Structure 1
Amino acid sequence: MELQITATSPEHPAALLDLPWSVPLEEWPDEHLVALPRGISRHVVRFARAGDEVVAVKEVGEWAAVREYGLLRDLDRLAVPAVDAVAVVTGRADEHGDPLEPVLITRHLKGSLPYRSMFETTMRPGTIKRLLDALAVLLVRLHLSGFAWGDCSLSNTLFRRDAGAYAAYLVDAETGQLQPRLTTGQREYDVEVARVNIAGELLDLEAGGSLHPSVDPVPFGEAIAERYQELWHELTRQSVYPLAKRHYIDRRIRRLNDLGFDVAEMQIQRSPEGDAVTFLPKVVDAGHHQRQLLRLSGVDAEENQARSLLNDLETWMVSQEDYAPGDPLGARPEVLAHRWVRDVFRPTVRAVPRELRGNTDPAQIYHEILEHRWRLSERAQHDVGLQATVEDYVTTLPAPATEV
């Protein structure tokens, strides 16, 4: 049997041909390898350089390699966080002509780490919780796409921290199944597997002295099931918001925030009955909102202020006609954000008389107005709008104290 390379891109076969396919992966010479942290795997895995790219090479049976290659490509089309499939290499043989196992090749996810490497510094409980939240987000997104993982665990996940956000990526799809829609039983099985696997992996870290002494592995394993259920319910329940009750969207965002998740993306579909809204969650680190608001709009605010302003900015952006994520002809987020500052943020703050503002910074004033709008809208059971909110806010705002 001749060597055969099935690749996702025409450029890959040429770069891959230089790798020593006639040598068992475990014996590959150092000149081809890249020293990167590897997680635990039931298969032999090595990182190698192929042209300008770093790839992960995994020896696995031909049927499993081809199947996983196809599943990873499907997940890529569905925009689910997972490693990118590069190629499958079959027909390998050593120098004596004896057959060698085929390999699955995936692209190395830059900036990512396996969980064991992250725990080498005895991670704090709060950080562990955020990583498990990121894994809960990944599992929900997989299930929403119709993918039953079958072996959700820390070992089969890569974690990446990007500008304060924590994200989890599927790295092993070997046991997965992709279907149009998952049953409740299939989802519950995945969650139970995750609970057992994660508790076991944390117990293993505890035995090796790599787990923070205040972390109890079993409750942490159970916690991911609870986070999954809360997030699944909040994201999947169907709601259509009449135009007069747009404050209901704020209510949904607040519930996600209360669960510890942020809104990474919001999509609104218009219909005669109202606005149908879907949310994409993410897990963020302290200071993320402050940095993101400053980058997008130039507004410098404290973290809680920035979170409030970003939620308002996101809701405003999706209502603009030229808002089209991923469309090169659509306005970029930075352009829309600066328009929001010019047309919404500044006029709203300036509508509050200067003598009432005192020394309160503009971000705090706007945040208080948003909070006031929320309370008024909840009381009225419809969105009262910014103008009416500011008018009421001004009448209820106490005059700043004067120095004696």
Structure 2
Amino acid sequence: MPDSMTITAATVDPGLLDLPWDLPLDAWPEETIVALPKGISRHLVRFVHLSGYVVAVKETSAELARSEYDMLRTLQRMDVPCVDPVAVITNRVGREGEELQPVLVTRHLRFSLPYRALYSQTLRPDTATRLVDALALLLVRLHVIGFYWGDVSLSNTLFRRDAGSFAAYLVDAETGKLYPGGLSNGQRENDLEVARVNIAGELLDLEAGGRLDENADPVDVSNRIVAQYRTLWTELTGTEQFDATERWRINDRVERLNALGFDIEELSIRTAEAGAQVRIQPKVVDAGHHQRRLLRLTGLDAEENQARRLLNDLDAYRARNGREELDEEMVAHEWVSRVFEPVVRAIPRDLRGRLEPAEVFHELLEHRWFMSQQEERSVSLPEATTAYINDVLRHRRDERTLINPPTSSIALPLDDEDDDVDDWRASV
């Protein structure tokens, strides 16, 4: 570690001191580097092992590194999906005394992939559409809090599977600025136009390389972000007016916003002088309505659509077993211990890195429904679990960074795991 080097971090990981900061990033030894798919970046980026996890190291200027580090920390405090900033390293000096570029260190987002790596051969039209939809939602969330991105693109975003859809995370905040008073329409429109142009270019690049399905039109897909963004923005911030006899539309608006994953801080309701018209305008708090409810009830941390799917199964369990009169949190604890955790324990250890537990559970429910339709009978959860593991999960590629020792997002007993699974199969 060079004597003059400076590390700026909220909590310094001692493992940072062991990395070869006295070498240019492109000269770091292979045993330090992790082979993970990367998006397109204007800066040199390398993935590196650090204390049992993986970090991304990006060479940039000192000013940009500090600015982006501070912005990512601010966005995290505001519950915006983004990568976790770890440290800024400045005053690097090479072994020959030469000045080396400062770096920004961020934590790699587990189970995430850049858009170019989602499919190893071709990007299908429906996948490209779902990526754009996820990016549109992320952009709306950023604009709601007054964040101007300035460089919206698929390349500056990471994607995680989310119950048949994708969840988008901001990766590059280098050009971003936060305006506490909110964004003007011009700023929002500029971000939207940058997104449209960048996405079209990125998909055209995939098309030129034979990695975009021939049925996908890059321009049509890129134009979708504009339409999707406007629909979401209007739903979240638009004023709605209706007849006073249609008061049910107030609850309907709230439910639509909750379905999109947003909670509401307050509703502004105004009645016309004649009393015949009602005008409402919601004040949105933030996305994550279902995530917060699932976390509160079960302690499980999932993406928004995953949380919605798990909550639906929890509600179905409650109705199916006559638990409607019991305390919701008590039933949720019972569902986790009797339904969710046994499914996770049933997955062989060598397959647990394929998908997140919540995504596995979602896919299992889908597979169970498909089996029931095919066989025209009600397939039990243990039976569906066995079929899903053998017919689906075993053939999926690993979407987690494999690090030893392996970690899990759920603490499960391992000593008598097989016995627990056998008991569950017999009892369900």
State the TM-score, normalized to the length of structure 1: 0.67
1: CA distance between counterparts of 2:200 and 2:68? Answer: 26
- State the match for 1:8 in structure 2: 10
* Change beyond 3 A, Cα 1:132–1:119: same
1:266 maps to a residue whose letter is D
Query: Following TM superposition, by how much is the alpha carbon of 1:131 offset from its aligned partner in structure 2, in angstroms?
Result: 1.2
- Counterpart of 2:284 in 1: which secondary structure? strand
Instruction: Give the 5 Å matches for 1:96-135.
Output: 96-135=96-135
- Counterpart of 1:81 in 2: which secondary structure? coil
- Greater Cα radius of gyration, structure 1 or 2: 1
2: CA distance between counterparts of 1:268 and 1:32? Answer: 47
Summarize deviations over 1:102-130 as a string: whole Å, max 9, x none. Answer: 00000100000001101434232222211
- Counterpart of 2:18 in 1: which secondary structure? coil
Instruction: Give the 5 Å matches for 1:192-207.
Output: 192-207=193-208
- Counterpart of 1:87 in 2: which secondary structure? strand
1:166 maps to a residue whose letter is F
Summarize deviations over 1:209-249 as a string: whole Å, max 9, x none. Answer: 0001111111111111111111111101257999x935532
Stretches of 4+ aligned residues off by more than 6 angstroms: 239-242, 270-275, 282-288, 335-338
Q: 2:252 aligns with which of 232, 250, 253?
A: 250
Instruction: Give the 5 Å matches for 1:130-209.
Output: 130-180=130-180, 181-209=182-210
* Change beyond 3 A, Cα 1:276–1:216: closer
* Change beyond 3 A, Cα 1:116–1:20: same
Summarize deviations over 1:349-393 as a string: whole Å, max 9, x none. Answer: xxxxxxxxxxxx9xxxxxxxxxxxxxxxxxxxxxxxxxxxxxxxx
2: CA distance between counterparts of 1:234 and 1:4? Answer: 47
1:80 maps to a residue whose letter is V
* Change beyond 3 A, Cα 1:203–1:150: same
- State the match for 2:423 in structure 1: none
- State the match for 2:227 in structure 1: 226
Query: Following TM superposition, by how much is the alpha carbon of 1:296 offset from its aligned partner in structure 2, in angstroms?
Result: 5.1
- State the match for 1:354 in structure 2: none
Summarize deviations over 1:81-140 as a string: whole Å, max 9, x none. Answer: 111111000010110110100000001000000011014342322222111100000000
2: CA distance between counterparts of 1:232 and 1:112? Answer: 26
Query: Following TM superposition, by how much is the alpha carbon of 1:78 offset from its aligned partner in structure 2, in angstroms?
Result: 1.0
1:126 maps to a residue whose letter is D
2:10 maps to a residue whose letter is T
* Change beyond 3 A, Cα 1:336–1:166: farther
2: CA distance between counterparts of 1:131 and 1:298? Answer: 32
Query: Following TM superposition, by how much is the alpha carbon of 1:275 offset from its aligned partner in structure 2, in angstroms?
Result: 10
Contact 2:87 2:104 in 1 (8 A): yes
Structure 1 vs Structure 2: percent identity of aligned residues? 49
2: CA distance between counterparts of 1:56 and 1:198? Answer: 23
Q: 1:334 aligns with which of 308, 332, 336?
A: 332
Query: Following TM superposition, by how much is the alpha carbon of 1:263 offset from its aligned partner in structure 2, in angstroms?
Result: 2.6
2: CA distance between counterparts of 1:120 and 1:60? Answer: 30
* Change beyond 3 A, Cα 1:79–1:217: same
1:215 maps to a residue whose letter is A
- State the match for 1:348 in structure 2: none
Contact 1:264 1:281 in 2 (8 A): yes
Which stretch has the larger CA shift, 132-141 or 232-241? Answer: 232-241
- State the match for 1:264 in structure 2: 261
2: CA distance between counterparts of 1:277 and 1:175? Answer: 27
2:5 maps to a residue whose letter is L
- State the match for 2:312 in structure 1: 293
Q: 2:284 aligns with which of 272, 278, 282?
A: 278
- Counterpart of 2:92 in 1: which secondary structure? coil
Query: Following TM superposition, by how much is the alpha carbon of 1:147 offset from its aligned partner in structure 2, in angstroms?
Result: 0.7
- State the match for 1:77 in structure 2: 77
2: CA distance between counterparts of 1:112 and 1:160? Answer: 5
2: CA distance between counterparts of 1:298 and 1:27? Answer: 55
Query: Following TM superposition, by how much is the alpha carbon of 1:26 offset from its aligned partner in structure 2, in angstroms?
Result: 0.7
2: CA distance between counterparts of 1:280 and 1:296? Answer: 24
2:222 maps to a residue whose letter is G
2: CA distance between counterparts of 1:46 and 1:333? Answer: 46
Contact 1:164 1:285 in 2 (8 A): no
* Change beyond 3 A, Cα 1:247–1:226: closer
- State the match for 1:355 in structure 2: none
Contact 1:37 1:117 in 2 (8 A): yes
1: CA distance between counterparts of 2:250 and 2:42? Answer: 48
Contact 2:75 2:82 in 1 (8 A): yes
The runs of 5 or more residues in structure 1 that have no matched partner are 302-312, 314-321, 324-330, 339-360, 362-404
Contact 2:254 2:264 in 1 (8 A): no
Summarize deviations over 1:8-44 as a string: whole Å, max 9, x none. Answer: 214x2x1200100001101111111111111111111
- State the match for 1:91 in structure 2: 91
1:293 maps to a residue whose letter is N
2:332 maps to a residue whose letter is E
1:264 maps to a residue whose letter is G
Contact 2:162 2:305 in 1 (8 A): no
2: CA distance between counterparts of 1:236 and 1:146? Answer: 13
